[in-house]
Amino acid sequence: MKKLLVLILIQLIGITSISTVTWQAANRGFWQDSALWVGGVVPDTTSSDTFVISHPIVIESDLILESGAHMLIDSTGGICGHQIATVSSTFKL
């Protein structure tokens, strides 16, 4: 019984700690610039979050999109830079 309670507790902690965030570009600029992102917080370049890119963005470091990551680049947006983008097999563009 104790093992079952511990297992349930671990699962609940895992569910609450694994949450994705949607990041939206508000302006053109560099990924590391807080003015680029809605809310003023710069997302990590290693992520499983969702990114909505509606402005040109320059990436200055490698981008690693992990399992569950999504990226929507609309017709006015784009990504440029001479870095490496690594994506998991479940990444959706």
- Taking residue 68's Cβ as centre, other Cβ atoms within 10 Å add up to 15
**How far apart are the C-alpha atoms of 52 and 74, rounded to whole Å?**
8
Most confident of 53-57, 82-86, 89-93: 53-57
Look at residue 87 and tell me whether its pLDDT is greater than 50.
yes
Q: Report the share of the chain in percent with pLDDT over 90.
A: 45
**What phi, psi does 88 have (nearest 5°)?**
-80, 170
Q: Which pTM value belongs to this model?
A: 0.73
- Taking residue 57's Cβ as centre, other Cβ atoms within 10 Å add up to 22
**How far apart are the C-alpha atoms of 91 and 68, rounded to whole Å?**
6
Residues 41, 48: contact at Cβ < 8 Å?
no
